[in-house]
A = this chain, B = another copy of it.
Amino acid sequence: MAPVTNARVIFSKVPEGIPQPGTTTCDTSETIDIENVPLQGGFLVKTLVVSIDPYLRNLMVAPGTKSLLPTYTLGQPLMSYGVGVVVRSDCRDMKAGDHVYGTLPHQQYFVQKDLADLRVLDNTHRLPWSTFVGAAGMPGQTAFYGWKEFSHATRGETVFVSGAAGAVGSFIIQLAKMDGLKVIASAGSDEKVEFVKQLGADVAFNYKEVDTAKVLAENGPINIYWDNVGGPTLDAALEAATQHARFIECGQISGYNTGGAPVKNLMNVVTKCISMNGFMVTSLEKKYVEEFYRVVPEQIAKGKIRHREQVFEGLQNVEEVLRRVLKGETQGKAVVQVATK
């Protein structure tokens, strides 16, 4: 077989604010000889899906910028969670046809030296592969780990979830309902509000149309705040919190394009004895990952955990999808499908 195109999404320019066209380039100039590319003890992966998440914006920074996650290198492909299928393997951990999950480059094919942080997926419940970057992947793990570790949820308590229609937020609503909590949920469109109500949110509102502080004053106080957004929403949650409230800091998307959205009500942390815990999915992985894969894919297959995803076709759409994600214009988990099998 002749060499085929091996398209890649290259990081081309450090963006200001929401990434503008030209931040990345979909480069199709490279080719790969699938049958003959040397594996050198590794394996060849064909990328099936890549996940587009808000935090990718934080990796698009100037060279040398201090960051806790590896940032993107100008001229090199973006990376994100994804699922690929092994095409050929020289590696004993892996055989052709295996599916792997982990951080993949945004390119159609790549040779991987060793398993590193990749996980071979066991798809007993025959979920679509895209699910493994959503409810059965990093966003689901984020929700599952963070809730287990920090919520200390007690039946009858009230939780407020911002960014509630997103992949993490929608999972949290369902975990909280399973634990017997009252759920207040905010989202950025009426359509999203309808969706989170269907998932079981007791109170749901469009934060662009209704004042968050007012909704919380009427339906709170809140014992737990699952924070995906930071900024003024966090301020409102601090005002509406009970004594000994737990704040789980999962993301602060409101500040991602502005270098941080100011918060002024932190004095409540002192007076209300609030515990605020930030975390990254990787920091809790060891503790909960096996439980997650044992429990969650089955719950999804049985419809006990519902989710939705919006699938876009082709690497050429990565930049546009990220822009939509950052503007809150996607519905559920945003995924770019690179190949179907």
Given contacts A68-B243, A243-B68, contact A252 B272 (CB under 8 A): no
Q: B278 to A277, Cβ gap below 8 A? A: no
| Chain B residues within 8 Å of A277, by CB | 269, 273-276
**Copies of this protein in the complex:** 2
A220 contacts chain B at the CB level, 8 A cutoff: no
Q: Given B234, B267, B273, which contacts A252 in the complex, CB threshold below 8 Å?
A: B267
With an 8 A cutoff between CB atoms, is A39 at the interface? no
Complex Cα spacing A243 to B256, Å: 20
Chain A contact-residue range equals 35 or more
CB-CB nearest in chain B for A227: B270
Contacts of A243 in B (CB 8 A): 68, 283
**Contact among B264, B267, B271, B280 for A270, CB-based, below 8 A:** B280
Q: Assuming the A-B contacts A260-B265, A264-B262, A265-B260, are A252 and B280 also in contact, with contact meaning beta carbons closer than 8 angstroms in the complex? A: no
Interface contact B283-A266, CB-CB below 8 Å? no
When C-beta atoms are compared, the residue in chain B nearest to A283 turns out to be B273
**What residue in chain B is nearest A277 (Cβ atoms)?**
B275
Give residues of chain A (233-277) contacting chain B, Cβ–Cβ below 8 Å: 234, 243-244, 249-252, 255-256, 259-277
Cβ contact within 8 Å between A266 and B279: no
* Complex interface bits, A113-154 against B, C-beta within 8 A gives 1, otherwise 0: 000000000000000000000000000000000000000000
Given that A68-B243, A243-B68 are known contacts, is A273 also in contact with B279, CB under 8 Å in the complex? Answer: yes
On chain B, the residues within 8 Å of A270 by CB distance are 249-252, 278-280
A210 at interface (Cβ–Cβ under 8 A)? no
With both chains docked as a complex, state the minimum distance between the C-beta of A239 and any C-beta of chain B, in angstroms.
Answer: 9
Q: Does A105 contact B (CB under 8 A)?
A: no
User: Given the complex of chains A and B, what is the CA–CA distance between A292 and B123 in angstroms?
Assistant: 56
Contact A69 B263 (CB under 8 A): no
On whether A280 and B276 interact (CB within 8 A), knowing A260-B265, A265-B260, the answer reads: no
Given contacts A276-B275, A278-B273, contact A263 B266 (CB under 8 A): yes
8 Å CB contact of A267 from B260, B268, B274, B283: B260
A230 at the A/B interface (Cβ < 8 Å)? Answer: yes
A-B contact pairs, 7 of them (CB 8 A): A230-B266, A252-B267, A259-B264, A263-B263, A268-B278, A269-B277, A273-B279
Which are the 10 A-B pairs with shortest beta-carbon distances?
Answer: A269-B278, A262-B262, A260-B264, A276-B276, A270-B278, A262-B264, A273-B283, A249-B269, A252-B267, A273-B279
Given A234-B266, A262-B262, A273-B277, 13 further pairs, Cβ under 8 A: A68-B243, A230-B266, A249-B266, A249-B270, A260-B267, A261-B264, A262-B263, A263-B266, A269-B276, A269-B277, A273-B278, A273-B280, A275-B276
